Amino acid sequence: MVKNMVLYLFLTVSILGDDMYERHCVSCHRDLPTSLQEIFKRYLLVYGGEKNMKAGIKHYLKYPIKDISRMSALFISTYGIKNKTTLSDKVLDKAIDIYWDKFKVFKKLK
C-alpha cells in the first residue's frame, strides 16, 4: 500500500512538473519560427554551462530587454520582446530545470 502511494505521488509530481514546462514555455513558443531547442543552443553558446545559462534565462524572463535577448534583431523587430514573467521563482526555476534536462547535450555526446 505504501509503495503504491509513493509510486502514485512520484508519477503525479513528474507529470505536473512536465506540465509546468509545457504550460508556461511551450504554449507561448509553439507558434514562433525559432524552436525552444534552437533558443537553448543560443543560450548555451553565450553562457557555456548549466549554472550560468539557468541564471541568464531566469534574469531575461524576469527583466526582458532587447540588450540581453539572445534572439536576432530581425526576430525582435518581427515578434518583439516578451512581457515580464508573472511566474513565481519556484515555478520559474522548475520550468527552467525541465528545459535544461530536455535539451542538455553534455551526457548525450559520445
Q: Is residue 97 part of a domain?
A: yes
**Quick one: pLDDT at residue 104?**
87
Q: Is residue 42 part of a domain?
A: yes
Inside any domain, residue 90 = yes
Residue 109 domain-assigned?
no
Distance CA 16, CA 37 (A): 21
Q: How many domains does the chain have?
A: 1
Query: Is 43 within a domain?
Result: yes
Pull the grid cell for residue 74. 530581425
Average of per-residue pLDDT values in the chain:
81
In this predicted structure, the answer to whether residue 64 has a pLDDT above a threshold of 50 is yes
How far apart (Å, rounded) are the C-alpha atoms in residues 8 and 15? 11
Q: Quick: pLDDT tens for 17-48.
A: 457 788 878 877 888 888 889 989 988 999 98
Share of the chain above pLDDT 70, in %: 79
Q: What is the extent of the structural domain holding 24?
A: 2-103
pLDDT at 74 over 80: yes
Over residues 78-92, the mean pLDDT reads 92
